[in-house]
Structure 1
Amino acid sequence: MTFHRFLGRRGTIAVPAIAVMTMLALVGCAPEADRTPTGSPSPPYVSTYQTPEPTAIAPLRGTTVPAGSLDHASIAAKIDNHWDARPQVGLETTDIVFEELVEGGITRYVAIWQSEIPELLGPVRSIRPMDPDIVSPFGGIICYSGGQQRFVNLMRQTPVYNAIHGQADTESTFFRTNTKSAPHNVLVRAQKLLGQHTTIAAPQQQFAYSLDGESSSAAKDGVTVTTMKYRFSSSYWGSWKWDAARQLWLRIQQDKVDKDSTGKQLTAANVVALRVNVVNDRGVPKTLLSGKGKAWISSGGAMIEGTWSKSSPTSPIRLVDTNGVTIRLAAGNTWFELIPPAGSVSFTTPSGP
């Protein structure tokens, strides 16, 4: 065994070599200070996700709206289209408008509001025999200034609340404006009228809708068109021109821009022309809407041909293509042109008629 000698103050001490090695090993195994950086602790994770507000589909436009925002009735009105009635009040916010033939070869409208109720609408005129079939599927309220008693009786038999000028229940909501001459001057305080009938249910969805014009049936399966021209009689005609920048159809009557009460041109996301039969009801043209006929549906700068049908006064109008597939309109407002047999419908394509 090897010994090492260490010199102390009083002499030398013999230490075995193995002891030296053991001491050195213990010194080498002494723990070092922890050099791992500590830093600040990470903050707890907090999610910033917010649950989206629930949405619904506007029943008469097909647009997405906050859930519950349209839980109210629709308002329909028989709107004057005489030259002295223009520009009409509130047409720019309609969901759906039906243009129909009346006496003298001119037209009137059945306009329907639900997505946006204007403060005022009008001028309203008297009811016609086809109007019950038009408004019955929507329910809600119908505004008009009166009419032949037989037509009023028909309208009162529908599931629609009749708001008639000159009646006790419309004394605060119907009035004559001094901005137009009689009989083209009866307006309706629409928001106030709706507030008086809060228990009337909202309308059911009437048509199938796509997300936008590009995904509508006309744009996907139809032909590209730039103009739709229509004629109700020898004395009345109009047209719709496609505005690609705005993705809307622009309305023209008798070759003049058809403006709303704000001075802007009336527009539509969809223009639907229906070939309808018209009979003479004791001197009053009556459009027949129960049945079926040819249809031309224009959306997204294109047109698709199809068939319309309506099985009963309270059933909605159904639109299908030549294969029997339901036609989807573009989300937005719609104008219906109810073209009589003597009338016409034509289209202009980018390359010509």
Structure 2
Amino acid sequence: MSAAGVKRSGGALFGALLLAVTAGCAGGDGSPQPHDSTSSGGRGGGVLAVKIDNVAPARPHTGLEKADVVYVEQVEAGLSRILAVYGSAAPAVVGPVRSARETDLELLRQFDRPTLAFSGAQSRLLPVIERAPLVAVPPSEAPGAYFRGPGRPAPHNLYLRPERIPFEAPGVDAVEALGLEAGPAPSGGEPEESRTVRYPSASVTFTWSAGRERWLVSLDGSPARTSEGGRLGAGTVVVQDATVRPSDFRDRSGNVSPFTETVGTGRAVVLRDGRAHDVRWSRPSADADTVYTASDGRRVELADGPLWILYAPRGGPGSPAAR
């Protein structure tokens, strides 16, 4: 699939556990929510997206190192949450899984009928998810695919076994589904050893390792590790300026959920090969790919390896506009 924007081709647990799964997901109203909709029928498209917890009690993450694309977005209380996208392969276990947000629905329009795994959602958001062009697979749709892991308190202990949901990895990198390709770095750029993106109550830092040819990830100031103890790393990092505004939804505590605008235009910084490149991003509509262009107007190509995309509050610390 080329960078020219060719489009993407198109057991059960006990009832008590299911109630605990639904009640334990942040952002819901605490009551079990059925999710019987046309959006949940059949198989999804070429990618699996999993909403993943990103606070200290949820770490280390499981299966995040296998993701082709990792999105980081702001949620309530200034915290961050992760949306991990798998296409080339799905790990045996992913998690901890948390609840979906309105931002996820617009973001995922870039993929052709993706499968979205999440722990639940705010009750008023559920009908919006049902109408979205995706296959929604919360625990109520596939209770045998989710389980509570030992050693952590709820809601930070819910995990997914992707092999037990109606999804089969197509073996194609999810980066390609975004119309992006690997290739030479843009000309120019500035040497960059480290970049930190700060949210009101969270931070993500990328530190260049020439030996590993990776940007090593730290979360809230601590090295991010896999459940096996290895370091999480990215081949390319995109820090994208985004407007973060209040949505029409609230979490179970009454906090207004932020909405990150991923349609529009703005500045971005691409980190690859130990250098930072100022670029422009453009996404004219929800069903269009996001295009990243260098100063010469050419599309930016990526280094091999996982792609991390951070939606940085426009003008905030570490955002392109703050440079």
| TM-score bracket relative to the smaller structure | 0.7 to 0.9
Report matched runs for 1:107-126 at 5 Å.
107-126=80-99
Structure 2 CA distance for aligned equivalents of residues 224 and 131 of structure 1:
33
Query: 2:180 aligns to what?
Result: 208
- SS class of match (1:92): helix
Query: 1:260 aligns to what?
Result: 226
Letter in 2 for 1:261: S
Query: 1:318 aligns to what?
Result: 291
Report matched runs for 1:27-38 at 5 Å.
none
Query: 1:186 aligns to what?
Result: 158
Quickly say closer, same or farther: Cα 1:344–1:191, change in 2 above 3 A: same
Q: Which has the larger radius of gyration?
A: 1
Structure 2 CA distance for aligned equivalents of residues 176 and 185 of structure 1:
5
Match of 1:173 among 145, 148, 157: 145
Structure 2 CA distance for aligned equivalents of residues 207 and 162 of structure 1:
23
What is the aligned-residue identity percentage? 27
- SS class of match (1:286): strand
Offset at residue 155 of structure 1 (A): 2.4
Quickly say closer, same or farther: Cα 1:161–1:200, change in 2 above 3 A: farther
- SS class of match (2:318): strand
- SS class of match (1:345): coil
Structure 2 CA distance for aligned equivalents of residues 306 and 337 of structure 1:
14
Match of 2:197 among 200, 220, 230: 230
Offset at residue 251 of structure 1 (A): 0.6
Offset at residue 107 of structure 1 (A): 0.3
Offset at residue 314 of structure 1 (A): 2.2
Quickly say closer, same or farther: Cα 1:314–1:201, change in 2 above 3 A: farther
Report matched runs for 1:74-89 at 5 Å.
74-89=47-62
- SS class of match (2:304): coil
Quickly say closer, same or farther: Cα 1:171–1:277, change in 2 above 3 A: same
Quickly say closer, same or farther: Cα 1:120–1:88, change in 2 above 3 A: same
Query: 2:76 aligns to what?
Result: 103
Quickly say closer, same or farther: Cα 1:200–1:298, change in 2 above 3 A: closer
Q: CA RMSD in A?
A: 2.4
Structure 1 CA distance for aligned equivalents of residues 168 and 67 of structure 2:
20
Query: 1:66 aligns to what?
Result: none
Structure 1 CA distance for aligned equivalents of residues 168 and 279 of structure 2:
38
Say if 1:100 and 1:287, in contact at 8 Å, map to a contact too: yes
1:77-113 deviation line (CA, Å, top 9, x unaligned): 1100011111111011110011011111110011111
1:184-215 deviation line (CA, Å, top 9, x unaligned): 1111101232xx3459997663143234xxx2
Size of the aligned set, in residue pairs, is 270
Report matched runs for 1:252-331 at 5 Å.
252-282=218-248, 283-331=256-304
Quickly say closer, same or farther: Cα 1:188–1:322, change in 2 above 3 A: same
Segments of 4+ moved more than 4 angstroms: 198-204
Quickly say closer, same or farther: Cα 1:237–1:201, change in 2 above 3 A: closer
1:153-191 deviation line (CA, Å, top 9, x unaligned): 2222222110012x1x30211122223210111111012
Structure 2 CA distance for aligned equivalents of residues 230 and 197 of structure 1:
33
- SS class of match (2:259): strand
Letter in 1 for 2:130: R
User: Which stretches in structure 1 are left out of the alignment for 5+ residues?
Assistant: 1-55, 58-71, 348-352
Structure 2 CA distance for aligned equivalents of residues 267 and 117 of structure 1:
18
Letter in 1 for 2:230: K
Quickly say closer, same or farther: Cα 1:273–1:346, change in 2 above 3 A: closer
Matched, 1:153 2:120: no
Letter in 2 for 1:182: A
1:18-66 deviation line (CA, Å, top 9, x unaligned): xxxxxxxxxxxxxxxxxxxxxxxxxxxxxxxxxxxxxx89xxxxxxxxx
Structure 1 CA distance for aligned equivalents of residues 116 and 246 of structure 2:
24
Of structures 1 and 2, the one scoring higher in RCO (CA 8 A, sep 6+) is 2
User: Which stretches in structure 2 are left out of the alignment for 5+ residues?
Assistant: 3-44, 249-255
Letter in 2 for 1:323: D
Structure 1 CA distance for aligned equivalents of residues 196 and 170 of structure 2:
38
Say if 2:87 and 2:170, in contact at 8 Å, map to a contact too: no
Structure 2 CA distance for aligned equivalents of residues 200 and 160 of structure 1:
16
